[in-house]
Amino acid sequence: MPGGNSLATDPGAVESETLRGSACLLLIETIMLSLSRQFRPNRFLPHPAQTRVGFTLIEIVISLAVLGTMAAGVYLGFNSINTYAVTSRLYSEAQTAAQNQIDLVLSKEPFDISAAYISGLFDPALKKIPIEVMTTDEIDALAFSGVVFPTTPPTAPPATTSSYYPYYPYFRTGVGQPVSKEAFIYQDPVSGKIIVRGTLVTTVADTFSSMTFVGATNLNLRRVTATVNYTFRNKNYVVAMDTLRTADQ
């Protein structure tokens, strides 16, 4: 109005002033709040103290039971494999010992029964029959002549002057028994304890086989059986091989 004082109000300026004041108030409130309140987690999420951070006792017991069952199965499996491996090895050694004795029976010289019985009786001093193909009667005659066989496996060779020296390492459990010798020894590689001892027994029998050509002729054919006996884990094992050997003459 003319001649009067009036204040002009700008609506845009008022609105800008209002927004500036609201921003200042929001900044002050934010500054005044503590950090824990500024960054408070969502109230709808569970509190950390209420969340599960470990296993229950039942879960632990079940886990231990499963692990124990698996460990027992693995142990039994490895134990069975080890037992099978040792059993196979011992059986192979027994077969080898029996086969070596059979080869010795077939190759040992001389074997002349006629010369050994030239006087009508067996004469061991002539050394015409190897110990590997002697019958029990011939071994008895050999012992009667002065050869003393040990009754258990010898631990060391005898003196060369001993009458037993040519027949080492054979031993004999008694009169009328065949000769035996230690076949093999299985020793624990860790403790050094002897686990298995194999014993080889050589049994000889005269077959009394004959052939008629001009007259009845004795073929002097003998059957030899090499038997290896051993015990492993309270179970007895026997491996036997036999052969026939005829005299050279």
Q: Encoding tokens for residue 191?
A: 């403790």
Residues 3-53: pLDDT tens digits? 444 444 565 565 666 666 666 666 566 555 544 555 555 554 555 555 555
Q: 249: which residues sit within 8 A by CB, 6+ positions away?
A: 112, 113, 114, 115
**Distances in whole angstroms, Cα of residue 230 to Cα of each of 101, 112, 194:** 16, 34, 13
Q: Encoding tokens for residue 15?
A: 């609105």
Do β-strands 179-187 and 235-246 pair in parallel, antiparallel, or remain unpaired? unpaired
pLDDT of residue 1: 44
Average pLDDT over residues 86-102: 92
Kindly report the backbone phi and psi dihedral angles of residue 47, in degrees, each rounded to the nearest multiple of 5, phi listed first.
-65, 145
Q: Encoding tokens for residue 51?
A: 């969340």
Model pTM score: 0.67
Taking the CA atoms of residue 163, residue 164, residue 165 and residue 167 in that order, the dihedral angle to the nearest 10 degrees is 130
DSSP state of 42: P
Considering only residues 103 and 248, tell me which one the structure prediction assigns the higher pLDDT.
103
